[in-house]
Amino acid sequence: MNLWDKGIKTDLNILAFTVGKDRELDVELSQFDVIGSMAHVSMLASVNLVSDDEKNILIKALLDIFDSISNGNFQIEEGMEDVHSQVEKILTQKLGETGKKIHSARSRNDQVLVDLKLYYREQMVKLAMLSSELINALLENSEKYKNIVIPGYTHLQAAMPSSFGLWFAAYAESLTEDLMFHEGIMEYINQNPLGSAAGYGSSFPINREMTTELLEFSNMHVNSINAQLSRGKTEKFIAAGMGAIAGSLGKMSMDLTLFMSQNFGFLKLKEELTTGSSIMPHKKNPDVLELIRAKSSRINGIYQEVLLLTHNLPSGYHRDFQLLKEILFPAYQELFSCLNMMILALQNLDISQDIINDERYLYIFSVENVNEKVKTGVPFREAYAQVASEIDKGRFRRLEHVSYTHTGSIGNLANNRIAEKLEKVMEKLEVERYAGFTTRFINKLK
């Protein structure tokens, strides 16, 4: 069944090619298609395009479809082009002429747009919640290991004193700032395209404000052409946001992989989280971290893929957009799995306690010796030259006590301020509200 069927038999090869992976991927959209249709039907009744009795009948049938989706019993049949065709077929078979009225005043273009907006909004909530869980795990480790000093590196050369507290908190704040980037993305996603139809509106007296309120969008794409322009632009923003989080994950997994190597020996993954070698009995490989690193790089590549697919298209709908689902839907699942694996890894680390006592790290304290001389009135450049000379002549002796007191240093992590940043981000993303949207929407109609 095709919603555009005019009685002309389309070549089966063309149908198979153009449908692509829609039947498989549209299952992900099925709940949102039904929710969008219920909001649309409610609006149609408010402007007398369906009667109240027809509205109630349609809502009841849509709720039944929603329940079948929730129970895992919904499928898009062979011969159906997409989820929209499947839902309309079920309604028509069950309700006859009444079922055929559901598509009044909308197009598949704004129908799929609203499905995607609701789907992306839910994925944003899941992403924020998982990222928040990882951030809290990082802050917990930061506090737990804040007194363990490790060398900090520049150019992969031991440079200055750092600490596990500082390192864990760095990635907690980095991921929090990645979520700040998502605030703008969420604001863009959370706009109602329904009512824009094929991009040029409708001559029916529809009420777009009503569907905006019912679907709890914070705004609408006002201009009907612009609503269609959001296809591709939405995915480009999302890909950039996913890349930001993946970038932090990839760098963190690279650090951990280095820290695990025998040359560093800063920490170990518990043995049950490592893999072995087919010929080397001693090997305990951090494959999970290496795959997080690799998958994060691949996720960062999808921005370019989305950009190349969409950047040279004129306004209006084009079938090219169909491929965006094939890019983003699996990418979300891959990013979720990376976040889950990193949380698991952080819960299963054995941290070395006395790294800093190794003689090879003696000179990372040279800056402290310079600073002590400066405190006595020696000009910085002269103090620097004096300590450099001591190192060169083998006379350098590190200070017994090193004091860092400024905000964000090894002696004053200020992790409470990072936690406050995270709390504000989660509030702005309205995570708690949108996590409960689907349940709240369905309960209103039952």
- The DSSP symbol for 193 reads -
In three-state secondary structure terms, 84 is helix
Given the residues 51, 261, 277, 389, select the one marked as catalytic. Answer: 277
Q: Give the Cβ contact number of residue 131 at 10 Å.
A: 24
Residue spans of beta strands (DSSP E) within 61-165: 149-154, 157-163
Is 277 catalytic? The answer is yes
What are the angstrom distances between the C-alpha of 18 and each of 75, 111, 188, 199? 19, 18, 29, 21
Coil, strand, or helix at residue 282?
coil
Q: Tell me which of 155, 311, 401, 406 is the catalytic residue.
A: 155
The tokens for 20 are 């692509």
DSSP characters for 311-372? TT--SS--GGGHHHHHHHHHHHHHHHHHHHHHHHHHTTEEE-S-GGGSGGGGGGGHHHHHHH
Tell me the C-alpha distance between 108 and 18, whole Å: 15
The four Cα atoms 82, 85, 91, 93 give a dihedral, to 10 degrees, of -110
- Give the DSSP H/E element, type plus range, for residue 41: helix 30-46
Say how far apart CA 81 and CA 1 lie, in whole Å. 7
Six token digits for residue 402: 């090193």
Region at 403 (left for phi over 0; alpha for psi -120 to 50; beta for the rest): beta
Give CA–CA dist 397/365, Å, rounded.
9
Task: Please state, in angstroms and as integers, the Cα–Cα distance from residue 8 to each residue in 2, 5, 79, 150, 325, following that order.
Answer: 11, 7, 15, 72, 28
**Cα 394 to Cα 391: distance, rounded to the nearest angstrom:** 5
282 is catalytic: no
Residues contacting residue 219 through CB under 8 Å, at least 6 positions apart: 187, 190, 191, 192, 212
Where in the sequence numbering do the catalytic residues fall?
A: 155, 277
